[in-house]
Amino acid sequence: MSVQMSLVSTLLLVAAGTTLSLAVKAAGSSGITLDVTYNSKPDAQAGFLVINCSLAQPSLAQLASVASLAVFGSKPYGGKEENQLAVIDMWSNVPTLADELEESGVSVIGEIGPGRSSFLLLSWNSPIKLYRDSYTCVANGIDRDGQPKTSSTVSKIEVVSDGCYHKIQSLESKFDTQSLQLAGSLKTGSEIIQMVQSLDQRVEGIEEKLDAILFNSKVHSTLLAIDRTKFDISDLYNDTFYLASKEEAVFNLKNANSVCQASGGYLLEIDDDGENQFTFSFAKKIGGSDHFALGGNDVEQEGRFVYFNSKKPVPAHVTWMDARPNNAGGKEHCMEIWLSQGGLNDIPCDTKTKFVCEVPLRF
């Protein structure tokens, strides 16, 4: 189901009655299942909000063993980032709540089962507002090659906050009132036009709110795919996130681009002055190195620099350093940001350096 369809379905579920009741299940291709149940007036058998994150078999998430399960929630009232709410790991096998939830009337249970099912369940037993837009279940572990791995597909559930729900209810009530007024009395032509224009404006307001929810969902989905253990992440610029590798390593165009692709992007391609300035500022902010490689190279034809992923020519107006590129020693076929020199430089493609990816939003 597409993001837009799931959002519409959620709106219909929430608006179905005056007593809010919502039960939604998300099962990702990673084998992770996330159940979210919300009741504004629960019976004795159910809490106000129950979140169950489970993994039936590690192999379904391409894991040989599970090291930890964690539940995340978006920041309150439409925040673009997310907070960890609870986690359980194989070493203690004791679930831990985030500090912010310690006094909120929530209980947590869970178990990491070696080679078998694992789960992490949170339950609120006192009234709670649905002020988070989404909840996420993440599994970490070791793959069949003995390497650390975070499940590449994360199950996610979208819900509509009480504030948005009540606002839409209020607007719908006003629509009904004005529609009755319009139908029940003969107005002058100008008055009818004003009423129609007012209704149009209110509809546009609701559409803007739904657009904002969809945009936040796209941001959330994009961030979930990024491996935060490997990258520092920029602010959003022109619907794109930029990632800087945390460690310097011997650069390799193909391998570095594959690492970028695993997080939903590709090696940096500077297309204009604005992007050039933003990526330089981001690299300075991250620090840890004076050098950051990108996707430009002239491996195929000396002097003709193209981007590795798109194969597009590097624009002639990019900010090269003075007398660059110069192919010093006859082996400088890759490109880097050289911060202290304030420009782009050509380097050997096996230089030890950091590198930068760009990750467009998932529309």
- Domain ends where: 105, 131, 162? 162
pLDDT attached to residue 360 = 94
| Least confidently predicted of 215-219, 267-271, 311-315 | 215-219
* 124 within domain boundaries: yes
- Domain ends where: 102, 133, 162? 162
pLDDT attached to residue 4 = 27
pLDDT attached to residue 184 = 54
Q: How far apart are CA 90 and CA 139, in angstroms?
A: 12
Q: Are residues 270 and 127 in the same domain?
A: no
User: Tokens 């007036």 label which residue?
Assistant: 41
* 42 within domain boundaries: yes
pLDDT classification of 284: cutoffs 50, 70, 90:
very high
| Least confidently predicted of 75-89, 226-240, 251-265, 305-319 | 75-89
Highest mean pLDDT among 134-138, 167-171, 310-314: 310-314
Q: Are residues 102 and 237 in the same domain?
A: no
Q: Which residues contact 259 (CB under 8 A, 6 or more apart)?
A: 230, 245, 357
* 329 within domain boundaries: yes
Q: Are residues 148 and 282 in the same domain?
A: no
- Domain ends where: 127, 162, 197? 162
pLDDT tens readout for residues 268-279: 999 999 999 999
Mean pLDDT, residues 197-223 taken together: 74
**pLDDT top residue among 178 and 205:** 205
Which of 243, 239, 352, 231 minimizes the C-alpha distance to 289?
Answer: 352
What is the CATH classification number for the domain harbouring 266?
A: 3.10.100.10
* 179 within domain boundaries: no
Highest mean pLDDT among 114-123, 220-229, 307-316: 307-316
Q: Are residues 15 and 150 in the same domain?
A: yes
**pLDDT top residue among 18 and 281:** 281
pLDDT classification of 135: cutoffs 50, 70, 90:
confident
pLDDT attached to residue 285 = 94
Q: Are residues 257 and 354 in the same domain?
A: yes
- Spell out the long-range contacts of 108-117 with Cβ–Cβ below 8 A and sequence spacing 24 or more: 110/69, 110/86, 112/66, 112/67, 112/68, 112/69, 112/88, 113/66, 114/65, 114/66, 114/90, 115/58, 115/65, 116/57, 117/54, 117/55, 117/56, 117/57
Domain count across the chain: 2
Q: Are residues 136 and 259 in the same domain?
A: no
pLDDT attached to residue 116 = 65
pLDDT tens readout for residues 9-29: 333 333 333 344 555 555 555
**pLDDT top residue among 185 and 58:** 58
Confirm whether pTM is higher than 0.75.
no
Q: Are residues 235 and 355 in the same domain?
A: yes
Highest mean pLDDT among 102-106, 208-212, 335-339: 335-339
What is the CATH classification number for the domain harbouring 36?
A: 2.60.40.10
Mean pLDDT, residues 229-237 taken together: 93
**pLDDT top residue among 6 and 259:** 259
* 216 within domain boundaries: no
* 38 within domain boundaries: yes
pLDDT tens readout for residues 163-181: 444 555 555 555 556 555 5
As to burial, measured by CB atoms within 10 angstroms (0-12 exposed, 13-18 middle, 19+ buried), residue 60 is: middle
Q: Are residues 262 and 152 in the same domain?
A: no
| Least confidently predicted of 143-147, 314-318, 326-330, 335-339 | 143-147
Residue 67 belongs to what domain range?
A: 3-162
Q: Please, are residues 308 and 295 in contact by the beta-carbon 8 Å criterion?
A: yes
As to burial, measured by CB atoms within 10 angstroms (0-12 exposed, 13-18 middle, 19+ buried), residue 79 is: middle
Q: Are residues 245 and 328 in the same domain?
A: yes
Mean pLDDT, residues 141-149 taken together: 77
Assess whether pLDDT exceeds 60 at residue 242.
Answer: yes
What is the average pLDDT score of the chain?
77
* 220 within domain boundaries: no
Q: Are residues 157 and 243 in the same domain?
A: no
* 186 within domain boundaries: no
